[in-house]
Amino acid sequence: MNADTSIARASATRGPALRRIAWRLVAHAGSTRTLLALLALLAAVVFARPAWAPLAAVLGLLGACLAAALGVHPRLRRQPALLVTHLALVALVVLVGLGRLLALDGRFELTQGVAFDGQLLDGERGAWHRERLHALRFRHHGFEVDYAAGRRRGATRNAVEWLDDEGRTHAAVIGDHRPLVIDGHRIYTSPNKGYAPLLRWLPEGGGEPVVGAVHLPSYPAQELRQWRAWTLPGAAEAWVQLDLDGEEPIARDAPAVFRLPQRPRLVVRVAGVRAVLAPGDELAVPGGRLRFEALTTWMGYRISHDPTLPWLLAVALLACAAMAWHWVAACRDTLARPERHDG
């Protein structure tokens, strides 16, 4: 046997072997185990909220897994309902990943009657989120919270108003499970709410007055910690505390509704001076005068924005319909088969 013949036989042997190895790799990539492993990896990547590159890499691997499954499993190509189900499931995964890249989740607090300025206390933004919070023209005009005996919180009714893109005013009542939807942003009330003393700083020499609202800790969750500091413009820090003088705005042992105290008093300490102020009273301190204008309320809100939610619903319904179509067809084929009798 000459050398050329040996080389030709070796090449002919390697060809089918390489094809078998390649086929096994494709079959492994298109297997259910690989799909489940990639879905678990995607879940880990989504919850880790990374940059877009790792998420895109995992989504690409999922697409390759589906393509391999179409080549390995002829059943997927022969049965349209099963194929649509798998495509819808992959689309759901892609939409979830895309939603994390585009989404916003955060929270903010708003004083009664004051417009939202687009600032969040904290929030999580996807890498591709396009900030539009400053365009949301929204304010609230008070709220009611029902309490059962034992101060068990019930429904929240928060009266709000907002302006649309054409400048028209709209009004609604929202709550913990009834959102206000503006430009795709969903705004819910939260359990956090409380009292807010309105303070006016009148500087010496006729300077520009400054008005601020001090959001005291959430009431009644932090009933015994109703104090907070407020930095006066160009002066010392003012420490303010709400003095309820034994009054319970929310009864403990009977049904009640969140309300303002009837006789609010504010204990103020600034620059070594202490005073108890009623609404309208002033305190003279170095640099100016501090006036307790009134006591109002603040509400805490949750805000979220995910433009993929309508698409997620549509694709989920498509997946359910395709799966139902597949199982109905499978049951019909089973009933249509002739019974076999052993005999």
Give CA torsion, residues 320, 305, 136, 186, to 10 deg. 60
Vertex 224 angle, CA 189 and 140, to 5°: 25
Q: How many other CB atoms are there within 10 angstroms of residue 181's CB atom? A: 12
| Of 36-45, 229-238, 315-324, the least confident | 36-45
> Helix count (H) and strand count (E) of the chain?
6, 15
d(CA 56, CA 264): 56
Query: Which pLDDT band holds residue 14 (cuts at 50, 70, 90)?
Result: low
Tens digit of each residue's pLDDT (9 = 90 or more) over 268-326? 998 888 999 999 999 988 888 899 999 999 999 999 999 998 998 898 898 888 888 87
CB 219 within 8 A of CB 193: yes
Buried-state track 13-24, b at ≥16 Cβ within 10 A, e below 16 = eeeeeeeeeeee
The residue among 335 and 50 whose pLDDT is bigger is: 335
Query: Which pLDDT band holds residue 50 (cuts at 50, 70, 90)?
Result: low
Average pLDDT over residues 38-53: 69
Q: How many other CB atoms are there within 10 angstroms of residue 270's CB atom? A: 21
Query: Which pLDDT band holds residue 22 (cuts at 50, 70, 90)?
Result: low
d(CA 168, CA 194): 30
Specify the pTM.
Answer: 0.76
Query: Which pLDDT band holds residue 3 (cuts at 50, 70, 90)?
Result: very low
The proportion of the chain whose per-residue pLDDT surpasses 70, expressed as a percent, equals 83
Q: Is the pLDDT of residue 10 over 50?
A: no
β-strands 138-148, 122-125: how paired?
Answer: unpaired
Q: What is the chain's alpha carbon radius of gyration, rounded to the nearest angstrom?
A: 32
Q: Is the pLDDT of residue 31 over 80?
A: no
Helices (H), the chain: 3-29, 32-48, 52-72, 74-78, 80-102, 309-336
Q: What is the pLDDT of residue 8?
A: 46
CA 268 to chain centre: 37
| Of 47-61, 138-152, 210-224, 322-336, the least confident | 47-61
Tens digit of each residue's pLDDT (9 = 90 or more) over 81-101? 777 887 787 788 778 778 878
Q: What is the pLDDT of residue 75?
A: 66
Q: What is the pLDDT of residue 60?
A: 75
Give the mean pLDDT of the chain: 83
d(CA 134, CA 150): 40
Sketch the domain layout of the chain as residue ranges.
31-103+310-336, 105-304
Q: Is the pLDDT of residue 337 over 70?
A: no
Q: Is the pLDDT of residue 340 over 70?
A: no
